Every structure is written in structure tokens, then in C-alpha cells.
Amino acid sequence: MSQDANGSTTAAALASDGTRNGDALANLLQEHRKFAPTPEFTANAVVGAAEYKEAAADRPAFWAKQARELLTWSQDFTQALDWSEPPFAKWFVGGEVNAAYNALDRHVENGLGDRVAIHFEGEPGDTRSYTYAQLTDEVKRCANAFESLGVAKGDRVAVYLPMIPEAVITLLACARIGAVHSVVFGGFSADALRSRIDDAEAKLVVTADGTYRRGKPSPLKAAVDQALTAPGHTVENVVVVKRNGQDVDWHEGRDQRWEDTVGAASGEHTAVGHDSEHPLFILYTSGTTGKPKGILHTTGGYLTQTAYTHKAVFDLHPETDVFWCTADVGWVTGHSYVAYAPLVNGATQVMYEGTPDSPHQGRWWEIVEKYKVSILYTAPTAIRTFMKWGKDIPAKYDLSSIRVLGSVGEPINPEAWMWYREVIGSNAGKNGEKKAHPAPIVDTWWQTETGAHMIAPLPGVTATKPGSAQVPLPGIAIDVVDEAGESVPDGHGGYLVVREPWPAMLRGIWGDPERFKETYWSRFEGMYFAGDGAKKDEDGDIWLLGRVDDVMNISGHRLSTTEIESALVSHPWVAEAAVVGASDETTGQAVVAFVILRESAPSGQDSGDDVVTTLRNHVGKEIGPIAKPKHILVVPELPKTRSGKIMRRLLKDVAEGREAGDATTLSDPTIMAQIAESLKK
Ligand code: 6R9
């Protein structure tokens, strides 16, 4: 097997990446449990087995049918797919569609105005519910307000908001007028926000005074002010939602209160159709280099696939279900399965602002009980945290309303999967009753780039296996290939690829078409390379094995090793840095940094803790608190190949407490011993 740029072999990457190290992989392959759907579930399921056949017969025709069934087009399309200039796809060519009209107005026109669209639960316990009629009214006002601030079709709007209804309102208002939103997660720093504002040349920023984190105020507007301190930016206005009431600096002329602008705007606004390929949003995600990529999504295909998968994978019955996706709107999951699909499908959903342990560790289960959540969609890292807190906590609540459970963001280990099933999916009331038939679990594999689910069981069709996302969805062509791009036989591992274009696929990287081709389409001829390792089991089911590149997955959030290394070396004390993602019981992976200090760094007996704290905070400032390394190890040297590439594989061994592997290709083979020695001190 060939060596990649970082000196690790594919085999090593597949076996040692993330939670799926050698032992875990061996365990996985001994995982033979299967849970078939009950006949009742299958009989009532919205999507049946026939869908796979139908989709395989004519993929574009299948998606065209979904597009027409799930969306209301103001102008019908003339061609399902134009793939004449790969890898640049056009879906539903000639069609015109308005995302906000599809998420809102049409439901009101269809007599569903009184159905609750969003039950909002604030961290301090304040609540608000919006019916479809009320949400439509708010979005129309917001659209008028943005237009009055000079935001026009095609302009970019940066969004830096907590999980409050105004986030969804802002996104839909942008979509309504054809402005392109770019959400920056509230946990990113002022510097990260500024670089994203600059890259997208945003005209407007929407933020809040602050939010709450574990009962304490947590500022947001201050970071926007800081981001805009240096001149040379494109921002004309900042709209500020009042959320936690904390004091904020005010820039007259630039800053606008949400209550004044949106509150005072007219509630009359007509949605016009936008071209199916009109840009809907940009969302920045970490790649293998230091510079985050602005992933571009467009309208018709994105809406079609998010709506279809939301319906099919969660078996959505919008009249009766209550859906809760716990993802923040700062990530793609919060775009596709909070802001868009649930509303396009006319569902009722729950939105929660805070952390799972505020004010107590039963908060989520209290919310499930209160709103009778029937479909819960969350991440393995949360499930593992709840496992740590113990099953007695969820047992205190009535979770009998739950009928489908979803997982996303990283591979889910079979233990967490079984706990999810037995403790959450089997709960039939707070007196310890158990359901005869636990809720099915759907493990959904997808990416910011894919826009919507790609691999997942269908709960009424698939016999599920703990730890596997299993089957490509109808209309999606997934494969696992070897180094040469040949499909591997069942029972073998390799690289995950997508063989055919799909409706919600990214349309490019903002401002960088070359990087788009290079990153995703150059590794294997004519195929999309996802960056994940995968294995087909004896049944042909797919098991995801984690990233094969330098992207880490911390609590389901993507961070690049290079990005954090750049942040570290930007500090005057640091000469060199290497970052690895080491397996972590709770967060899947944790950031571990190895640094070589400069002479100028404080030295001496007691300086170690100060250096580490200073550098952790520096990373927090440069990128955001989520990127702060869990451990920073000061070392005399880094292991490098003769061509100067850092061998992260060896550092990962150290970080995970293993004997370091084969170091014979190092320029100086004694370095690993030196590192081991320095860490003993
Ligand atoms: C939706 C989202 C994408 C990366 C992806 C993969 C990992 C996501 C997964 C999964 C195994 C799953 N990933 N879902 N791995 N099983 N069900 O998370 O998007 O933030 O772009 O991350 O996350 O490694 O390549 P994004």
C-alpha cells in the first residue's frame, strides 16, 4: 500500500483512525446482531422496499418524481439532471422554486396554519411555540427588514446566532429573497468569524447579544464587534437579536435592533421562485488544509433530497410526529434537519437552546416527555455522555412517545447503539416499563458536502445492525473502492465513494472551483471521494471506519489538524506543532497537540502549566473553544520522514498510550525514544 502525504498507510489509517482502532475494528466484525422491523412498523411505514428498485431503474427520474411530489415549484423543470460538465451538476434544470414558500406559506395555504412548526425551549426554561402561520408572518417581516437594509438576491448574509427561533427565521428570510446565508457556529472565535465574513464578502451580519451556557450568559455580539474592528470588511449592517439581555457596545448607523427592524417591518411579502440552481447557502467546513472550505449548496436539489430523506429515513408522519434534531444550526445537520426539511415536510419540531446538563442531567428527557417527541435525532458523543451519567436518569422520565431514533456525526460504536436502543428506545414510562418492540435506530452517514443523508437504514425495511449505517438510500450510488478505484468485494475495506451525482451534492467551494475538483474528484476517476474509510461486510452492508485524511471528528464536529497546527505556530512561543485526533471514550476523538517551544517561551520548573494554558487559550481565540486541545505535550523534536513530513501515525500511538509503531522511515529513528523520555519528566 502506498504512503500518503503524512507517512501513514491506508491500512494504518483504516485500522487506527478515530474510535475504530485495531481492536474496535475486530470487535465490529464480530457484531452479528440484527433487529428486523416489526410487521406493524413496516405496514405503517411511509416508504417501503419497492423504492430501492424504482430508484435503481432510473435515478434521475426517481429524483424528479420526488422533486415534484415533495416541493411546490413556481415553474416546473424541464430536465432532471444536467451532468454534461462534471463535476458541476445541475439538478431540475429550468425549474423555479422558493425554499421559504415551500417551508411556510404553502402549508398555511393548505389549511395547516395552526399546526405548531417549532416548540422552542430556552436554556433558562422560557418557551415559545410558533404555528406555521406565525412563523410565516415572522419570516415575511424579516425578509422585508433585510431588503430594507439593502440586502438583495445573491448577497451574502453571515449568521452568528444561538439556537433560537430567530436563527431559523433568518435563514428562511434569506432564502425567501434569494440572499445566501453563511452560518458561523457560535462557538467559533471572532477571528474565525472574520475570515468567513471576508471569504464570502458578507453584507449583513445577524447576531444576538448573547446566549446562555449552563446558566451563565455567553456573549456573541462582542465577537462580531471584535471581528469588525479592523477595516477592510464588506459588512454594512449588524442586526442584533435581544436574547440574554446582557450589555453590548452599540455602533450607531451600523447596528440595528431586531425588534426595531424586523418588528416594525410589514408582514406582507410575496415569495418569488428562484432558479433551481440559485445558491441557497455557504457553510464552512474543515478540510485537510488550514483554510476552511465554503461549501456551496443550491436550492432545488438540496430541498428535494433533504425533504425526501427526512421523510423516508425517519418514517415521518407529519400529522402526528414530533421531531427533535438536537444539532446546532451552526452545523449542516442543523441546516438540513432543523431549518429546512422538517418545515418543508410540514412537521412539528422541538428546538432547544442549551446544554444537556443544564440545569440537570435529565433536561433532554424532560423535554422529550414534555413535548412527546416521537423522533429523536442526535450524535453518538451525546449518547456516550448519557451512558456515563447512567441509565437511572432517563428512567425517571416517560419516553414512551419515541418511535424512531437517529444517529449522526461519527461512527456509533455497538455499545452506544445498544444503550440507545435499550435505555431510550425501550422506555415505556417512568415506572421502569419496557416496550415489547424498541424504537428502530437509523444511523445516518452524510457530510456537509453531501447536503443530506446518503447511507442509512429505512426503519420499515432494513433489519438494523448495531454500529452500521448499512445501505445507500434509494437513488444514491455508494461504493467502497481500493487504491486503484476498483470496487472491493464483500468482506473487504477501502475508501468510500459516490459513483453518481445526487441532488443535494455540493455545487462547489465558494470562490475556488479548482479546489473543488482537486479535493473531491481527483483521487478516483469520475467518483466523489468522501475522505472516509469504509468496509463492506459479508451481506454487503457498509460500516464507516472514520476519516482517512487529516480531518478529526470531535463530538461529531469536523476540525482539521492543519488548522489547529497553524493556530499553535502563530503563537510566538511555538516553533513547531503537530496535532492528532486521539480516540476518546466520550467525544470519539480528542485533540492532542505536540509542540516544540522556542527559546522565548517561559522555561523552568513551574512554567509547564502556564505554557499549556496559554496555548490552549490561544487556539480558543484563533479558532474557537471547540478546537482547544485536550492535551498539549511539549516535546524536543517531532518525528519526520526524510522528506520532512510529520509522521502523525506515531504521535497518535503516543497520544493513545500505545507502543509507537514502525519508525524506520524517520530521518532520525531515535526521536520516538527522545519524545517518550521527555514525556516521562
Ligand atoms: C453530517 C455531518 C462529515 C464526516 C464524515 C464522517 C463523519 C458523519 C457519520 C459519520 C460514521 C455516521 N460522519 N456521520 N461517520 N457514521 N453516521 O456530520 O457532516 O460535519 O461535514 O462531517 O463525519 O467522517 O465524513 P460533517
**389-408 per-residue burial string, b: 16 or more CB within 10 A, e: under 16:** eeeebbbebbbbbbbbbbbb
Q: Is the dihedral of CA 391, 396, 401, 406 positive or negative?
A: negative
Average pLDDT over residues 129-144: 98
The pLDDT of 213-236, averaged and rounded, is: 96
> Any binding-site annotation on 443?
yes
* Ligand 1 center to 622 CA (angstroms): 24
Q: How far is the CA of 46 from the centre of ligand 1 (A)?
A: 26
Residue 19 counted as an annotated binding residue: no
Q: What are 26-35's contacts with CB under 8 Å, separation 24+? A: 27/414, 28/414, 28/467, 28/543, 29/535, 29/537, 31/414, 31/465, 31/466, 31/467, 31/468, 33/414, 33/418, 33/465, 33/466, 34/463, 34/464, 34/465, 35/421, 35/438, 35/440, 35/463, 35/464, 35/465
Best residue for ligand 1 mutational test, from 410, 505, 587 (most atoms within 8 Å of Cβ): 410
For position 550, what pLDDT does the model report? 80
Return the pLDDT at 16: 34
The answer to whether 31 touches 39, Cβ cutoff 8 Å, is: no
pLDDT-based confidence at 424, cuts 50/70/90? very high
Helix (H, G, I), strand (E, B) or coil at 663: coil
Asked whether the beta carbons of 298 and 280 are under 8 A apart, the reply is yes
Lining ligand 1 with CB less than 6 A are 285, 331-333, 408-411, 443-448, 469, 530-532, 544, 547, 553, 556, 558
Whole-number pLDDT of residue 542: 97
Distance in angstroms (rounded) separating the CA atoms of residues 285 and 287 = 6
Residue among 328, 412, 446 whose CB has most ligand 1 atoms within 8 A, to mutate: 446
Per-residue pLDDT tens digits for 352-361:
999 999 999 9
**The C-alpha cell that represents 622 in the structure block:** 484563533
> Per-residue pLDDT for 8 more than 80?
no
Q: What pTM, to 2 d.p., does this model score? A: 0.89
What's at 436, amino acid-wise? A
9 annotated among ligand-binding-site residues: no
149 CA distance to ligand 1 centroid (A)? 37
Instruction: Give the per-residue pLDDT at 413.
Output: 86
Question: What ipTM, to 2 d.p.?
Answer: 0.99
Higher pLDDT pick, 673 / 130: 130
The 8-class DSSP code of residue 659 comes to P
CA-closest residue to ligand 1 atom 2: 447
> 7 pLDDT band (50/70/90 cuts)?
very low
Q: Assign 26 a pLDDT band (cuts: 50, 70, 90).
A: low
Q: What is the dihedral of CA 555, 629, 515, 487, to 10 degrees?
A: -50
Q: Which of 497, 553, 555 to mutate to test the pocket of ligand 1 (most atoms within 8 A of CB)?
A: 553
Q: Which of 325, 509, 532, 560 for a ligand 1 pocket mutation test, highest count of atoms within 8 Å of Cβ?
A: 532
Residue nearest atom 17 in ligand 1 by C-alpha distance: 445
Cα–Cα distance measured from residue 173 to residue 298, given in angstroms and rounded to the nearest whole number: 16
The ranges assigned to domains in the chain are: 551-634
Q: CA distances (Å), 458 to each of 302, 341, 441, 585, in order?
A: 20, 17, 9, 28
**In the predicted structure, residue 29 carries a pLDDT above the cut 80:** no
Model pLDDT, residue 440:
98
Rounded mean pLDDT of 370-388? 94
CB atoms within 10 A of CB 217: 14
How distant, in Å, are the alpha carbons of 155, 176, 225, 255, 334 from that of 235?
Answer: 11, 21, 11, 11, 25
The predicted pLDDT at position 84 comes to 98
| Nearest of 445, 377, 462 to residue 52 by alpha carbon | 462
99 HSE (CA, 13 A, CB side): 40
Residue nearest to atom 10 of ligand 1 (CA): 410
Give the highest mean pLDDT range of 28-42, 486-500, 558-572: 486-500
The Å distance, Cα 589 to ligand 1 centre, comes to 13
Q: Is 20 annotated for ligand binding?
A: no
Quote the DSSP letter at residue 598: -
User: What pLDDT, on the 0 to 100 scale, is given for residue 14?
Assistant: 40
d(CA 527, CA 547): 17
Residue 270 CA to residue 471 CA, distance in Å, equals 41
Q: Which residue has the higher pLDDT, 277 or 215?
A: 277
pLDDT in tens, 532-545: 999 999 999 999 98
| Those residues with Cβ within 8 angstroms of residue 34's Cβ, 6 or more apart along the chain or in another chain | 463, 464, 465
Q: Respond yes or no on whether the N-terminal peptide bond of residue 359 is cis (omega within 30° of 0).
A: yes
> Is position 213 annotated in a ligand binding site?
yes
Q: How far apart are CA 410 and CA 557, in angstroms?
A: 9
What is the C-alpha to C-alpha distance for residues 105 and 110, in angstroms, rounded to an integer?
Answer: 9
266, amino acid identity: S
Digit-coded pLDDT (tens) for 46-55: 999 999 999 9
The residues pairing with 10 across neighbouring beta strands, listed in sequence order, are: none
Quick check: helix, strand or coil at residue 76? Answer: coil
What is the Å distance from ligand 1's center to 362 Cα?
Answer: 27
Which atom of ligand 1 is nearest to 558's Cα? 20
Residue 611 contacts residue 668 (beta carbons within 8 Å): no
State the Cα–Cα distance between residues 10 and 141, nearest whole angstrom: 53
Average pLDDT score over residue span 111-136: 98
Q: To which H or E segment does residue 416 belong?
A: helix 414-419
324 among annotated binding-site residues:
no
569 annotated ligand-binding residue: yes
Local confidence band at 674 (pLDDT 50, 70, 90 cut-offs): confident
The atom number, within ligand 1, closest to the CA of 530 reads 25
Quick one: pLDDT at residue 1? 30
Q: Find, among 641, 650, 622, 638, the residue nearest to 678 by Cα.
A: 638
Q: How far apart are CA 171 and CA 297, in angstroms?
A: 13
Instruction: Name the grid cell of 355.
Output: 446544554
- Per the CB < 8 A criterion, the answer to whether 173 and 129 are in contact is no
- Residue 546: its pLDDT value, please? 83
Res. 407 pLDDT band, cuts 50 70 90: very high
Cβ–Cβ < 8 Å for 503, 63: yes
pLDDT band at 19 (very low <50, low <70, confident <90, very high): very low
- CA 446 / ligand 1 centre spacing (Å): 5
Is it true that domain 551-634 has CATH number 3.90.1170.30? no
- The answer to whether the beta carbons of residues 186 and 211 sit under 8 Å apart is yes
Query: Per-residue pLDDT tens for 571-630?
Result: 999 988 999 999 999 999 999 999 999 888 888 767 778 899 999 999 999 999 999 999
Determine if the peptide bond prior to 87 is cis (ω within 30°): yes
What residues form DSSP beta bridges with 240? 207, 257
Cβ(635)–Cβ(673) under 8 Å?
A: no
Mean pLDDT of the chain: 92
Share of the chain above pLDDT 70, in %: 94
646 bridge partner residues: 640
Rounded to the nearest 5°, which phi and psi values hold at 517?
-65, -45
